[in-house]
Chain A
Amino acid sequence: MPRLLSTALSLRRDPRLLRIPPYVSAFCIAIGVVWLLLLPLDDYSRRTYVSENALLPGQVHTYFGGSEQHIFRAFRHEVDLLADKNNYEVNDKLESILTGFGVKVGRQNYTYHSAGQIYTGENVYGILQAPRGDATEAIVLVAAWKSIDEQLNRNGIALVLTLARYFKRWSLWSKDIILLLPPDSTTGTQAWVDAYHDAHDFKHIAPLPLKSGALQGAIAIDYPHEQRYHELHIIYDGTNGQLPNLDLINSIVNIAGGQMGIETTVQQMTGHTDSYQDRLQTMLRGMLYQGLGYPTGPHSSFIPYHVDAITLQPTGEGWHDEMAMGRVVEGSFRSLNNLLEHLHQSFFFYLLMQKNRFVSIGTYLPSAMLLAANFTIMAIFLWVKSGQPTAKDVGTGKQQSDGLERKGDAAPSSWSPLTVERNLLSPLTFVAICHSISAIPLFLFNHLGINTLPLAFLIFSVTSTVLPAIFSFAAASLQKPTPQYFQLTKSFSLLILGVSLATLSTLNFSLAFLVGLLASPLTFIRPTDSAATRWFFAALLILTSPPIVILSTAWTSGVTLTEVLKAASLGWNVWGMYTPIIIWCMWWPAWLIGMTNTLSPISNI
C-alpha cells in the first residue's frame, strides 16, 4: 500500500500527466454529445405516468355536446361580426355576453414598449365563481383574440364562451374559473398574469379590478383551424425554458387519447412513428425551443409564476369537431378541479420524446454537465500549467536548486516542483474588460428601435470580428505577452464559462447544452506560431461566434434578421427572457478572449 501510494504520488510529477487534461476535455465533449444521442433509446427514456392521484384524468363522463353546438355556432357568428372591430368594441360585446351568464367581468389596459414599437391593448376577463367555493383557488381558460399565428382565433373564442355558459350550470366546481380573452397571444396574457401577481409595471399596465384566489393551472385554446381536425398539438414551453408540470401534459394526453380518441402530438411532430429518428427530432425541437427561452403561446406567461399551463392547438385534417375539443377542455378542467394541492408531484424538468415518453433531469443532466466540466477541467489545467516553468525556466531553475542543494543539503532537485510567480494583473484586467464591454450589446439590442436594429447588428458583427485583432495589437504594444498571460486569460475565461454553464444547466438545460457545444472550440484554441493553424483556429472561431450563429440560424430557419432581433427585444422587454444575457454576457466575452488569444502573436522571449 505505501508503495502504491508513493508510486501514485510520484506519478503526479510526471510531465506526461499534464498532457492528459486536453484529452479529458475532448472526451467530456464527446461523451456529452453521445449521451444526448442515447436518450431516445428505450433503455434511457421512460414512459410517462400520472403521478398526482387526485387528477384522475379521463375518469369522468363529459356531457358537452348536443344543443351546445347550436350555441357554439351562434357565438361563432357573433365573433365573425366582430372580426373587423377594434379591441374595445370587441371587448364591449364579449363583456355583455359574459355578464349575461352571471360571470363577473373585468378589464385591463396595458402598454408595452419594445424596439421602438408600442404594443397596447385591453384584456377582458371573467370570473365564474365557484358555486360553493370561496375565492381561494382558480383555474384559467385562455383564448386570445389573435392566435399564435396572428389569425382570428374564431373557434377558440366561441368555444370559451360556450364552455363558460355550460360550466355555469354545474355546481361541482371547487375552484373559480377565470376566462381570459386577451387581444393577442403574446403581450396580453403577460400583462394580465403580471398584474394578477402584482409584478407589473404600474406606469404602463393597469391593475386588475377583480381577482380570485391562487391560480392552480391554465389551459389556452388556440383554434383558428377551420376544418375538422385530426390531432391536438400540445404546446408546453414556457418563458426561459421553464416547463409545466408533466402531470398536466399527461392528463391531457390521457383525456384526449384515452377518452376522446383524439391523437395528441408535441413539438409539431405530426405522424410520429415512435422511431429513433422521430424521437430524437422531437427532443431536439423541444431543446431548441427551450434553449431559445422564447414564449411559444399564451400559456408561456403563466409558467414563471409557478402556474402550470399549456396551449391546445387542433391541427391536421380529420373528423374531430369543436365539441370534441370542448369535451377535452371539460375533462381537463374536471381533473384540475379535483386537485387538492398545487401540482407538485410529477416532473418539472424533463425532455419529451413523444407524447408518452420522456427523460427526466437525472438522466439528461450529465450531458450538459459534462460539456460544462470540459471548460472547468481545461481552466484548472491551464492554471496549473501557468504556474510551471517553461522549458527555458526549468534550465535556470535547475541551476538554482543545485546551488541550494549544495549550500544546505536540504532540498533535493528530484521532488521540488518549481513554481513561477503568476502575473495576475494583466490577465484579470483583460478578462474584466471583456466581460464589462459585454453590457454594450446587451443594452443596444434591447433598447434600439426596430429601424436601426439590423444595421446595428451588422455593425456589431463586424466590430466583434475586428475587436480581437485590435485587442491583441493593443496588448502586444503595451506589454510583451508571455505564454503565461495567454494561459491565465484563457483559464479565467473558461473557468467563468464552465461555472456559469454548470449553473445554467440546472435552470435551462437546453440553453446550457447549446451554448456549451457552440463554445467548445474555445477549449482547444491556443496561440500558435504556425500561420496555417492560426488561420484555421480563427476561421473556426468566427464560424462559431455569437453574431454569426444568430445570422446563420435566422438564415436557415427562413426568418429575417429584423424579425429575430425584434423578437429578442420583445422577449427581453415583455417576458423578462434571459437568453440575451447568456449570449452577450457569458458566451460572447469568452469568445472574444479566445479569439484575441488566437490572433495574438506568440512571444518567444
Chain B
Amino acid sequence: MRSLLSFLPLLIPSALVSATEYHEQLNLRPLPLSALLASFNFRANTSIADFEAQNFRLFPRSLGQILQYAGTRELHLRFTLGRWDAESWGTRPWDGTKEGGTGVELWAWLDAETDEEADEKWLTLTNALSGLFCASLNFIDGTRTIRPVVSFQPEGDHPNTTLANTRLLHGVLPHEVVCTENLTPFLKMLPCKGKAGIASLLDGHKLFDASFQSMAIDVRPICPSEGECVLQLEQTVDMVLDVDRSKRPHDNPIPRPPPGHDLICDTTKPYHQPDDACYPIDHLRGQDWTLSQIFGRTMKGTCPLTDDEVPPVCVHLPPTRDLFASQGAHEIRYPNNDSLRCYHIEQDKEFTLVLTKSEFPSEGGEAAPLGIVKPETPVLYADRSFTGHGQEHGGVQAILTNPGDDSVEFVYMESLPWFMRIYLHTLSARISASSPNTNSSADLIKEIYYRPALDRARGTQLELLLSIPPRCTVFLTYDFERSILRYTEYPPDANRGFDVAAAVITTLEPKAMNIRTTSLLLYLPTPDFSMPYNVIIFTSTTVALAFGGIYNIIVRRMVGANEVPRTAMKDKVAAFIQKLKGKKTAVAAAAAGGKASIEPVSGTAEAK
C-alpha cells in the first residue's frame, strides 16, 4: 500500500501544472479502534510573475505581502495538537512531512546576505505571521530560533544563485495551544473560505476534539521542466477523529453510560446476564459512520474554483466494505490500488457518505481487524522521555526502534532551551541488549552538529546523523543540568514546568520522512514563595540567631564595669578626657565628657 503522498502525483499529471491552478482533496482512512484519519489538502499555484506584480488571485494577499516584505523564499508553518500513535496507526500522513511538534513550528528560507539581516527579517516575519494567525509567533525570539544544518532541505526549486544568499531559520513554540482562533485565519486563506467544497466540513468543534490534528501551511516555488515557475501554497489539515466521540450529537456531547440494553456484550461468557453482568466487546464492533455525523455538518458541493480532474473525496477501505455515496456522486476505482475509491461530486449538491457496519465482525483476528486497510508499519519508532529525578540534574532518553529489514539513516535534531544545559560528553547511543545484532555502538552516531547555548541569548542546537541496523532498538541518552533562573524570569505558573520542544527526526534512508517526538515538561528548581517555606526560613533564622548568641556567651569572656581594676580605668578615662579637651572647645568637651565617662568603661571591659 502506498502512502498518501505517493499517490497524489499519480492523480495529477505533471503536464497539468498550469500557472494558475487550484485543487483540493479529502482523504479518509479508517484506523484501528474507532479512529479515522481525515487529511484535507488544498493546493493553489500562482505564477511568480503574477506574485511579484502583486496580482493575487488564488494566493491570499495577506500572506503574499508578508512574504514579499520579509524576503521569504520558502515558508513552512505548522500548528499541531496531540500525538500520532504510530504503534496502532502506522505511518504518518504525508510521511510526516506536513506535521510539526506540539504547538507551533515555523521554518523559512529568507533572503539575507548576513546573519544579522536574516535575524531582522525573521523578526519581521514572525511578528507579521503572529498577527495573521492569531498565534504567539512573536515569542519566537533568539532563544527559540536555531539554524539547522542538515535536518531541513528546501522543498521547492531554487536556483543555486538565490539559495546561496538565503538563510534557513527554525523556531518552535511548544507551549502554544492550538485552537479555533488559528483555524479561522487558516480557512480565510482558502479561495472558497470554508463555504463550499471539502473545507465546509472543517468545524472547529470537531477539529479540536480530534485525537491528533495538524494544520500546515507550505509556500514554495515550483519550476516545472517546461513552462514558467509557479509559487505554490499548500494548506493541509490532518486530523484523527475518534468516531465514537464525533458521533455524539452536538447538543448532548457528554458520554453518559448508555442504557443497559444498548451495551454490546460477549454473550458467550458464563456469567453473562442481561441487565446484570456484561463483558463489553464494543471495541470489536468496527466502524460505521456517515460523513455528516463525524464532521457535524454536510459537505456543500465542491468549490467552483477547483480543478475538475481531481476527485475531491477519497476513502481507503478494503474493496469488500460497502460505502454509499449520496446521489449525483460518481465513484472511481483504481485498478492499481484496489483499496482506494474516490468520488466526483456535483458542484451545488450536498454530499455525504455512509459507511455501514462490517459484515464479518472479529473473525480476522489481529492481522485484519474490523474491515479496514491495515496501516503500514513506519520506518522508525521514536519515543523520548526524561530520566532521573531531583531538581539539579536530569537526563534525556530517546528510544529509537527500527522495525524493518533495512538499516535506517536519519538526522536527529534537538532545539533545547538555554536553561537546560546539556553535557555533550555524556551523549551516548547504545543498541539495546535484546536486539539481534548487538555490534559495537561506536559507529551509530556518524556526525554531530552542535551549537552550544548562550545564557539568555540562544538555545542549544544539536543535530546527530545516526544509522540504526535492521530490527534494532537504540537508546540515545544525554545528561543535562537545570539552571536556576532569576526570580523575575519565572512565568506566573512557575510550578507547571517549562516545555521542551519535540525532537525532529528526518530519515534519509530507506526513504525520506519526518517523525517528531512528543514534547517534554522540564521542572526547574523553583523558589517556593508559600507559607511552609517561610516557616522553614524563619525557623532556620531563629536557630541561627540563637546559635550566634549562645556561642557568643560561651566563647567570649565579659566582665562588668565595676569588676575592672579601678586604677587602670581611671588613668584611661583621664587620658581620654584630656585628649578630648585638647581637640574640641570647652563646651563640646564637657558634653562629650559626660557620655565618655561611661563609654570608655564598657570599651575597656569588652577589651578584657
Give A residues with C-beta under 8 Å from B. Answer: 2, 5-10, 12, 63-68, 70-71, 73-75, 77-78, 100-102, 104, 129, 131-137, 165-166, 169-171, 197-199, 211-214, 305, 340-342, 344-345, 347-349, 360-362, 365, 369, 380, 383-384, 410, 412, 414-415, 417, 502, 506
Q: A71-B263, A129-B83, A136-B520 are in contact. Are A198 and B558 (CB under 8 A)?
A: no
Task: Give, as a whole number of angstroms, the nearest-CB distance from A239 to chain B.
Answer: 15
Interface pair A74/B278, CB less than 8 Å apart:
yes
Interface pair A131/B242, CB less than 8 Å apart:
yes
Can you offer 26 A-B residue contacts whose CB atoms are under 8 A? A2-B598, A2-B601, A5-B561, A6-B561, A9-B563, A10-B560, A12-B558, A65-B257, A67-B278, A70-B276, A70-B278, A74-B278, A101-B283, A102-B34, A129-B85, A136-B499, A136-B520, A199-B388, A199-B389, A211-B383, A212-B385, A344-B530, A345-B530, A360-B531, A361-B536, A502-B543
Q: Chain B contacts of A412 at CB under 8 A? A: 563, 565
Interface pair A67/B244, CB less than 8 Å apart:
no
Task: Give, as a whole number of angstroms, the nearest-CB distance from B241 to chain A.
Answer: 11
Q: How far is the CA of A171 from the CA of B271 in the complex (A)?
A: 32
Interface pair A6/B562, CB less than 8 Å apart:
yes
Q: Chain A contacts of B521 at CB under 8 A? A: 136-137, 213-214
Interface pair B276/A171, CB less than 8 Å apart:
no
B277 at the binding interface (Cβ < 8 Å): yes
**Closest Cβ neighbor of A51 among chain B residues:** B530
Q: Chain B contacts of A10 at CB under 8 A? A: 560, 562-563
Interface pair A102/B283, CB less than 8 Å apart:
yes
Task: Give, as a whole number of angstroms, the nearest-CB distance from A271 to chain B.
Answer: 32
Task: Give, as a whole number of angstroms, the nearest-CB distance from B215 to chain A.
Answer: 14
Task: Give, as a whole number of angstroms, the nearest-CB distance from A411 to chain B.
Answer: 8
Interface pair A67/B271, CB less than 8 Å apart:
no
Interface pair A340/B493, CB less than 8 Å apart:
yes
Q: A67-B263, A344-B530 are in contact. Are A135 and B561 (CB under 8 A)?
A: no
Q: How far is the CA of A309 from the CA of B422 in the complex (A)?
A: 32
**Closest Cβ neighbor of A417 among chain B residues:** B557
Q: How far is the CA of A71 from the CA of B278 in the complex (A)?
A: 5
Q: How far is the CA of A342 from the CA of B245 in the complex (A)?
A: 29
Interface pair A360/B532, CB less than 8 Å apart:
yes
- Contact stretch, chosen from B204-212, B334-342, B412-420: B204-212
**Closest Cβ neighbor of B246 among chain A residues:** A171
Q: Chain A contacts of B576 at CB under 8 A? A: none
Interface pair A74/B210, CB less than 8 Å apart:
no
In addition to A104-B87, A165-B280, A169-B245, 17 A-B residue pairs with Cβ atoms within 8 Å of each other are A6-B562, A63-B256, A64-B257, A66-B257, A74-B272, A100-B281, A135-B518, A136-B497, A136-B521, A212-B385, A341-B496, A342-B497, A342-B523, A349-B535, A362-B535, A369-B539, A383-B554
Q: How far is the CA of A135 from the CA of B86 in the complex (A)?
A: 14
Q: Chain B contacts of A198 at CB under 8 A? A: 387-389, 395
Q: Chain B contacts of A8 at CB under 8 A? A: 560
By the criterion of a CB under 8 Å from any partner CB, how many residues of chain B are at the interface?
77
Interface pair B535/A134, CB less than 8 Å apart:
no
B116 at the binding interface (Cβ < 8 Å): no
Q: Chain B contacts of A5 at CB under 8 A? A: 560-561, 602
Interface pair B519/A344, CB less than 8 Å apart:
no
Task: Give, as a whole number of angstroms, the nearest-CB distance from A45 to chain B.
Answer: 16
As a 0/1 sequence over residues 62 to 85 of chain B, the CB contacts with chain A under 8 angstroms (1 = contact) are 000000000000000000011101
Task: Give, as a whole number of angstroms, the nearest-CB distance from A255 to chain B.
Answer: 19
Q: Chain B contacts of A6 at CB under 8 A? A: 560-563
Interface pair B389/A341, CB less than 8 Å apart:
no
Closest 4 CB pairs of A and B: A9-B560, A341-B495, A6-B560, A415-B563
Residue among B81, B87, B257 with max Cβ neighbours from chain A (10 Å) = B257
As a 0/1 sequence over residues 532 to 574 of chain B, the CB contacts with chain A under 8 angstroms (1 = contact) are 1001100100010000001000100111111101000000000
Q: Chain B contacts of A169 at CB under 8 A? A: 244-245, 255
Q: How far is the CA of A136 from the CA of B280 in the complex (A)?
A: 31
Residue among A165, A348, A415 with max Cβ neighbours from chain B (10 Å) = A415
Q: How far is the CA of A134 from the CA of B81 in the complex (A)?
A: 8
User: Of the candidates A67, A74, A345, A417, which one forms a contact with B257 in the assembled complex, judged by CB atoms under 8 Å apart?
Assistant: A67
Q: How far is the CA of A134 from the CA of B87 in the complex (A)?
A: 16
Q: Chain A contacts of B279 at CB under 8 A? A: 71, 74-75, 77-78
Within 8 A of A (CB), among B509-538: 518-521, 523, 528, 530-532, 535-536
**Closest Cβ neighbor of A66 among chain B residues:** B257
Q: How far is the CA of A129 from the CA of B88 in the complex (A)?
A: 13
Q: Chain A contacts of B275 at CB under 8 A? A: 70
Task: Give, as a whole number of angstroms, the nearest-CB distance from A16 to chain B.
Answer: 17
Task: Give, as a whole number of angstroms, the nearest-CB distance from A450 to chain B.
Answer: 32
As a 0/1 sequence over residues 254 to 294 of chain B, the CB contacts with chain A under 8 angstroms (1 = contact) are 11111110110100010110011111110110000000000
**Closest Cβ neighbor of A414 among chain B residues:** B563
Q: How far is the CA of A102 from the CA of B536 in the complex (A)?
A: 47
Task: Give, as a whole number of angstroms, the nearest-CB distance from B82 to chain A.
Answer: 5
Interface pair B543/A410, CB less than 8 Å apart:
no
Q: Chain A contacts of B85 at CB under 8 A? A: 129
Task: Give, as a whole number of angstroms, the nearest-CB distance from A244 to chain B.
Answer: 13
Q: How far is the CA of A71 from the CA of B562 in the complex (A)?
A: 92
Interface pair A361/B535, CB less than 8 Å apart:
yes
**Closest Cβ neighbor of B475 among chain A residues:** A207
Task: Give, as a whole number of angstroms, the nearest-CB distance from B106 to chain A.
Answer: 18
User: Of the candidates A77, A171, A349, A380, which one forms a contact with B269 in the assembled complex, judged by CB atoms under 8 Å apart?
Assistant: A77
Q: A65-B257, A102-B88, A165-B280 are in contact. Are A133 and B82 (CB under 8 A)?
A: yes
Interface pair A74/B269, CB less than 8 Å apart:
yes
User: Of the candidates A71, A78, A132, A133, which one forms a contact with B209 in the assembled complex, judged by CB atoms under 8 Å apart?
Assistant: A132
User: Of the candidates B82, B260, B389, which one forms a contact with A305 in the assembled complex, judged by CB atoms under 8 Å apart?
Assistant: B389
Q: Chain A contacts of B539 at CB under 8 A? A: 365, 369, 506
Interface pair B277/A74, CB less than 8 Å apart:
yes
Interface pair B211/A71, CB less than 8 Å apart:
no
**Closest Cβ neighbor of A346 among chain B residues:** B530
Q: How far is the CA of A345 from the CA of B83 in the complex (A)?
A: 31
B33 at the binding interface (Cβ < 8 Å): yes
B235 at the binding interface (Cβ < 8 Å): no
Interface pair A365/B496, CB less than 8 Å apart:
no
Task: Give, as a whole number of angstroms, the nearest-CB distance from A96 to chain B.
Answer: 11
Interface pair A70/B263, CB less than 8 Å apart:
yes
Task: Give, as a whole number of angstroms, the nearest-CB distance from B275 to chain A.
Answer: 7
Task: Give, as a whole number of angstroms, the nearest-CB distance from A561 to chain B.
Answer: 36
Interface pair A100/B102, CB less than 8 Å apart:
no
Task: Give, as a whole number of angstroms, the nearest-CB distance from B444 to chain A.
Answer: 20
Q: Chain A contacts of B532 at CB under 8 A? A: 347-349, 360-361
Q: Chain B contacts of A68 at CB under 8 A? A: 257
Q: Chain A contacts of B520 at CB under 8 A? A: 136, 213
As a 0/1 sequence over residues 237 to 253 of chain B, the CB contacts with chain A under 8 angstroms (1 = contact) are 00000101100000000
Interface pair B257/A131, CB less than 8 Å apart:
no
Q: A70-B263, A70-B275, A197-B389 are in contact. Are A344 and B563 (CB under 8 A)?
A: no
User: Of the candidates A75, A170, A344, which one forms a contact with B255 in the assembled complex, judged by CB atoms under 8 Å apart?
Assistant: A170
Task: Give, as a whole number of angstroms, the nearest-CB distance from A234 to chain B.
Answer: 21
**Closest Cβ neighbor of A6 among chain B residues:** B560
Q: How far is the CA of A512 from the CA of B82 in the complex (A)?
A: 48
Task: Give, as a whole number of angstroms, the nearest-CB distance from A421 to chain B.
Answer: 16
Interface pair A132/B530, CB less than 8 Å apart:
no
User: Of the candidates A63, A71, A340, A415, which one forms a contact with B496 in the assembled complex, judged by CB atoms under 8 Å apart?
Assistant: A340
Q: How far is the CA of A215 from the CA of B102 in the complex (A)?
A: 19
Q: Chain B contacts of A347 at CB under 8 A? A: 531-532
Interface pair B560/A341, CB less than 8 Å apart:
no
Task: Give, as a whole number of angstroms, the nearest-CB distance from A472 to chain B.
Answer: 29
Q: Chain A contacts of B496 at CB under 8 A? A: 340-342
Task: Give, as a whole number of angstroms, the nearest-CB distance from A202 to chain B.
Answer: 12
Q: How far is the CA of A12 from the CA of B11 in the complex (A)?
A: 103
Task: Give, as a whole number of angstroms, the nearest-CB distance from B475 to chain A.
Answer: 10
Q: How far is the CA of A8 from the CA of B563 in the complex (A)?
A: 12
As a 0/1 sequence over residues 432 to 473 of chain B, the CB contacts with chain A under 8 angstroms (1 = contact) are 000000000000000000000000000000000000000000
Q: Chain B contacts of A384 at CB under 8 A? A: 554
Interface pair A77/B271, CB less than 8 Å apart:
yes
Interface pair A134/B102, CB less than 8 Å apart:
yes
